Structure 1
Amino acid sequence: MSAEFVNKLQRQHLAELVPYQSARRSMSGGSTWLNANEAPLTPAFPEAPEWNRYPSFQNAALNQAYADYAGLKSEQVLSCRGSDEAIDLLIRAFCEPVNDAVMITTPTYGMYAISAATQGAAVADCPLIASADNSLQLDVASMLQRLRDPQQPRVKLIFVCSPSNPLGNLVDSGALEQLLAGVGQQALVVLDQAYVEFIEQSSAQVQISDWLARYPQLVVLRTLSKAFGLAGLRCGFAIGQPEVMDILRKVIAPYPLPEPTISGATAALSATGIQSMQAQVAATLEQRARLLEVLQNKAWVEKIWPSATNFVLISVADAPAIVQQCQQAGVLIRNQSSQPGLSPCVRISIGSAEEMDRLFEVLPA
């Protein structure tokens, strides 16, 4: 199956839209740049001479660095301001207000529905269902039934978060492939892998190049905010067929990433940067194991949800009280009890050894 069908999925007016050609996008080379109305110097930061220049529309070195890291081609990669921007771009590019919808699978990351509402798209919720191993998994039959319902707004995008936020577990790979096969050319399946670096390397979901080759309807979201520790730089990536990336380039801002972000992200994707990330991931997993051991001995913990991420979700009897007790001691954890389909629960991020020591001091006995 080719990827030509994505051009039919895009919003109709985008088919004829010629994107804005910025100074950086339309011209290159030269030694004297007088085409972008930039200042000749950066007086406040003389040590950062490049900051007076607009950055690249899509920095070739950065996109190639991420393509090399993920085992892809650079034309399959679009860099953006975190994966949150990628979510928004996909909805803006493919969903007509009112007439089209995004599908979500609650409990899931809240920005899918919020971005859809912001753009006037409908939201179709197919909640996760309990599986044999007591985790929550995709209800593929329900999802495909809703996808094909002609009486409802047409679903253009299906957001699947794996590893899941807020649950922490992996979506079953077999169910995901069943969904992709069933969707065919009717929609795009957006696999949000913000926490992919915390998955065991043997998992089928880590290496995505084969999946993208087999399923042109698949779009993958990645970020440097989690394992790479660069949340403050705001750098993420949309990954998919070049035809999908071409459509997203029509709606992304002329200069999506500032120069400091491009420089920092590219350095983080160097061999040394990747090694440092992997060492931090190993340390995070050690601290996660410590947390799990402590929680298993707490009488107020009703359920520890399986985690393939840098956080642990736990069901408790009184989530507000636990959050408040920790907050009063200066330790912030998150109440996730408002998530649809979840009993009272809290989510605890994995910090440094010192931060976890402090958490253990303030948790209820």
Structure 2
Amino acid sequence: MESNIYKLCRKDIFALQAYASARSIGGTGTILLNANELPVSNIVSLKKIVLNRYPECQPEILLKKYANYINLHINNILVSRGADEAIELLMRVFCTPYQDSILTFPPTYTMYAKVAEIYGVQNISIPLIDNIYLNIPEIIKCLNKVKLIYICRPNNPTGHIFHIDEIIKILELTINKAIVVIDEAYIEFCINKNIIFLLTRFNHLVILRTLSKAFGLAGIRCGFTIAHHDIIQLLRKVITPYPLPIPSIEIAVKSLSRTSIINMKNKILLVQKNKFWLLDQLKTIKFIKYIFDSETNYILVRCIRACDIFNVLWNKGIILRKQDHIIELQDCIRISIGTKIECLHLFNALKEIVLCE
């Protein structure tokens, strides 16, 4: 009997192209430099834990630990299933489907637009100027049409960070008009440029954080929303009852101890050392035409015949991230910073590539 499932599905969801995550794309390599993860795993020992009971929706011990880390009150924090869930929660709260819009600035993290598409929210896209600067005049033209503005800072996939003056300008322009969401997933790699101090000045500012990147805990899916208490209360209304499993909560709490935070900062220094070494080597590769400035644990490069280069490395088990799905980044490849040995393998493989005419 012929299935009627597709006839029952929303037409826009049927036509939707799923987000291609690093893991869903695949690759059988052993050198995975495509998801901006920390290259070394955290070793965490768990005590005997009770698993027949549901966890707290917002575990107080975890909120207190994170509040202490960022020097804020727990009333300003929401914990979620990664920062990705927070992106969705904000649209649930502030956007009416098929009526409201969000604002994004490509090239940027494509999940903002993908979530909007899923929820029936229009995405107004204003490309960055030279892939670096926010186009303030064009943004001003759209402010009466949007409820949420998503800014990735540091930006993924370019790696650069928007100047604080640009952010303040956007915040001043959007008072009583829209919520400004600053995605700080990679901020630990340039922590002195965080904007938490602006929360006391702008009650429509929302900051997203995660333990997936610098903390090396991508596998536990733990993110945080930092905002005015009123916004946090609204998000609590729509979040699922038990967003984090008990093992993830316990690991997250352990990762926020004083000793673990020191270890995290030391790992950042090591990643940065590897990045600077790799940057020097990439400058010697003739088919790499441009290297984007990066404040993060990844480097974006523009290459001659990027697709061919990507495939050669793929076949050697070195998995990078193509960016040709982003119009502004044709012929670009993003490289996550790995261990020194992984960076060395990558460089040696690049040296061996000969591009035929």
TM-score, length basis structure 1: 0.82
8 Å CA contact 1:322–1:364 kept in 2: the answer is no
Quote the offset at 1:342 in angstroms. 2.1
1:136 to 2:132 alignment:
yes
After superposition, the Cα gap between the structure-2 partners of 1:207 and 1:69, relative to the gap in structure 1 and judged at 3 Å, is farther
Of 278, 287, 305, the match for 1:318? 305
Report the CA distance shift for 1:162/1:118 in structure 2 as closer, same or farther (over 3 A).
same
Is the alpha carbon distance of 1:107 and 1:49 closer, same or farther for their aligned partners in structure 2, counting shifts above 3 Å?
Answer: closer
Contact 1:325 1:363 in 2 (8 A): no
Decide whether the 8 Å contact of 1:70 with 1:207 is kept in 2: no
Distance across 2 between alignment mates of 1:221 and 1:168: 17
2:282 and 2:347 in contact (8 A); partners too:
no
- Letter of the aligned partner of 1:88 in structure 2? E
Pick from 183, 201, 215 the counterpart of residue 202 of structure 2.
215
Superposed CA offset, 1:92-114 (max 9, x none): 11100011011100111010001
Output one character per residue of 1:220-260: Cα deviation in whole Å (capped at 9) or x when no partner. Answer: 00000000000000000011001000000011000110000
CA–CA distance in structure 1, aligned partners of residues 341 and 69 of structure 2:
31
**For the residues of structure 2 that align with 1:337 and 1:364, how far apart are their CA atoms?**
23
Q: Which amino acid counterpart does residue 140 of structure 2 have in structure 1?
A: L
Paired residue total: 306
**Aligned residue in 1 for 2:217:** 230
Distance 2:329 2:110 in 1: 14
Give 3-state SS (helix, strand or coil) of 1:313's partner: strand
What is the alpha-carbon distance in structure 2 between the residues aligned to residue 361 and residue 188 of structure 1? 46
Name the CA shift for 1:279/1:64 in 2 (closer, same or farther; >3 Å): same
- Counterparts of residues 142-161 of structure 1 (less than 5 Å): 142-148=138-144, 154-161=145-152
Q: Secondary structure at the match of 2:120?
A: coil
Alignment-derived partner of residue 91 in structure 2: 91
Cα separation, 2, equivalents of 1:108 and 1:348: 15
Secondary structure of 1:243's aligned partner: helix
2:177 corresponds to 1:181: no
1:294 aligns with 2:263: no
- What pairs with 1:1-365 in structure 2 (closer than 5 Å)? 48-130=48-130, 136-148=132-144, 154-199=145-190, 201=192, 203=193, 206-208=194-196, 210-365=197-352
Report deviation, 1:362: 1.2
Shift of 1:332: 0.3
| Contact 1:219–1:240 (Cα < 8 Å) also in 2 | yes
- The corresponding residue for 2:6 is none
* Identity percentage of aligned residues: 39
Distance 1:220 1:200 in 2: 14
What SS is found at the alignment partner of 2:51? Answer: helix
Q: What letter matches 1:103 in structure 2?
A: L
Aligned CA RMSD, in angstroms, stands at: 1.2
Q: What CA distance in whole angstroms lies between the structure 2 residues aligned with 1:180 and 1:140?
A: 11
Give the partner amino acid of 1:167: T
Question: CA 1:63 to 1:200, structure 2 compared with 1: closer, same or farther past 3 Å?
Answer: closer
- The answer on whether the counterparts of 1:105 and 1:127 sit within 8 Å (CA) in structure 2 is yes
Whether contact under 8 Å (1:320, 1:335) holds in the other structure is: yes
SS of corresponding position for 1:68:
helix
TM-score, with normalisation over the residues of structure 2? 0.84
Q: How far did 1:143 drift?
A: 0.9
1:165 aligns to what SS in structure 2?
Answer: coil
Residues 49 and 348 of structure 1: CA distance in aligned 2, closer, same or farther (over 3 Å):
closer
Q: CA–CA distance in 2 between the matches of 1:140 and 1:270?
A: 41
Deviation at 1:340? Answer: 2.6
Deviation at 1:200, TM superposition (A): 5.3
Q: Unmatched 5+ residue regions in structure 2?
A: 1-46, 353-357
The structure number with the bigger radius of gyration is 1
Higher RCO by CA contacts (8 Å cutoff, separation 6 or greater): 2
Contact 1:301-1:315 at 8 Å conserved across structures: yes
Query: 8 Å contact 2:153–2:161 — kept in the other structure?
Result: yes
